[in-house]
Amino acid sequence: MSTRTVALLGAALLLTACGGGGQIGDSGSSGNTKKMVLIPGVAAEPFYISMECGFREAAKAKGYEVDVQAPTKFDSTLQTPIVTGVLANKPGAVLIAPTDDKAMAGPMKQLKDAGIKVVEVDTKLEDTSIAVSTVSSNNEQGGQLAAQTLAKLAAGKSGSVLVLNTKAGTSTTDARAKGFEDEIKKFPNLKYVGQQYTDNEPDQAASKVTATLAANPDLVGVFATNLNTGEGAATGLRNAGKTGAVNLVGFDASPKQVEDLRAGAVQALIAQDPATIGRTGVEQAIAALEGGSVKRDIETDLVALTKADMDTNQKYFYKQKC
């Protein structure tokens, strides 16, 4: 056989494996339907580690092979090649936390078009036609809860309030910031001075808090919309000698955030239930693969933790390992 024939044969085989290069319908998957992959928003972060624990436990219990592949930063340019790599292996289902509500639509559509069942866990796309199900906290409600908690902590004191967001296009933190902004307006003693983006970097959160304090010496409250911004905001207030004087309400409950709550460096945390998000995502993926009934949107619990009640709510503390 000539080299050219071998090359042509190889190309033909490749086309067959990819469904002939044309449209691949939902039934066109020829990969391992007993395999599920979780693609978190970022690696080695307690929210996603806890989600992974729920994911692994639920998938293994049902006899599914699992894999977890995460980008080193919460960044769609790093998450996209992971999706492309997973696509080549054709698992039955992919559970994914898209790092951008628009930029991840193309790569995720390729998964869908290859017959892979896509379940969104935590974050979601603007385009609702790609995932079969979305499992997430009610993030807008979480933002409202943060505003109510902050207003209670401020106890009628007047002053400015800042929101620290992560990256524009992160569906969850954008919804939290919106919920907070809508709700805080109901408290006339609190003046909302807007939101600032931190690129999900604790250092940026810390420096934005100190800069805001310099510009607004009447700052009475900060809402940090996720784990990194919360950890960074606590550092910023500590550096400025304002711990406790400015009420900090964070989102999430990493070991460090929980320690900060106990030590009084943060006054409240809105905790999610990431393990249940992972577990429920698996149930939805299996329903989609095995012909069960799939629910398009599922909400998981949120709870406000303060120093006074944190120990009765320990099940909401995130894990560093399973």
The nearer residue to ligand T6T, 79 or 228, going by C-beta atoms, is 228
Rounded to the nearest whole angstrom, what is the least distance from the CB of residue 51 to ligand T6T in the complex? Answer: 9
Q: Which structure tokens are listed for 322?
A: 């399973």
Establish if 183 lies at the interface with ligand T6T (CB under 6 A). no
Among residues 50, 165, 172, 257, the one that binds ligand T6T under rule CB under 6 A: 172
Let me know: does 223 contact 194? Beta carbons within 8 Å.
no
* Chain centre distance of CA 95: 12
Q: How far is 60 from 151, CA to CA, in rounded Å?
A: 44
Rounded to the nearest whole angstrom, what is the least distance from the CB of residue 106 to ligand T6T in the complex? Answer: 20
Establish if 227 lies at the interface with ligand T6T (CB under 6 A). yes
The nearer residue to ligand T6T, 130 or 190, going by C-beta atoms, is 130
Among residues 251, 270, 298, 302, the one that binds ligand T6T under rule CB under 6 A: 251
The nearer residue to ligand T6T, 231 or 283, going by C-beta atoms, is 231
Establish if 131 lies at the interface with ligand T6T (CB under 6 A). no
Q: How far is 280 from 296, CA to CA, in rounded Å?
A: 12
Q: Binding mask 24-43 vs ligand T6T (x if CB under 6 A, - otherwise)?
A: -----------------x--
Count of residues of this chain found to bind ligand T6T when the rule CB under 6 A is applied: 15
Among residues 47, 180, 197, 317, the one that binds ligand T6T under rule CB under 6 A: 47
Q: Which structure tokens are listed for 246?
A: 């400015």
**What residues are paired with 305 via a beta bridge?**
269
Q: Binding mask 82-121 vs ligand T6T (x if CB under 6 A, - otherwise)?
A: ----------------------------------------
Let me know: does 264 contact 306? Beta carbons within 8 Å.
no
Q: How far is 164 from 226, CA to CA, in rounded Å?
A: 9
Residues 6+ apart with CB under 8 A from 238: 265
Among residues 76, 123, 160, 195, the one that binds ligand T6T under rule CB under 6 A: 123
The nearer residue to ligand T6T, 183 or 201, going by C-beta atoms, is 201
SS3 content of the chain, % helix, strand, coil (to 5): 45, 20, 35
The nearer residue to ligand T6T, 29 or 172, going by C-beta atoms, is 172
CB atoms within 10 A of CB 127: 15
Rounded to the nearest whole angstrom, what is the least distance from the CB of residue 23 to ligand T6T in the complex? Answer: 33
The nearer residue to ligand T6T, 28 or 169, going by C-beta atoms, is 169
Nearest partner of 124 among 78, 173, 91, judged by Cα: 173
The nearer residue to ligand T6T, 97 or 151, going by C-beta atoms, is 97
CA distances from 83 to 37, 89, 100 (A): 10, 10, 13
Helices (H), the chain: 3-17, 46-61, 76-89, 105-113, 139-154, 171-184, 202-215, 227-239, 255-263, 274-290
The nearer residue to ligand T6T, 86 or 224, going by C-beta atoms, is 224
Establish if 226 lies at the interface with ligand T6T (CB under 6 A). yes
Query: Can you give the binding site for ligand T6T, defined by CB under 6 A?
Result: 41, 45, 47-48, 122-123, 170, 172-173, 226-228, 251-252, 272
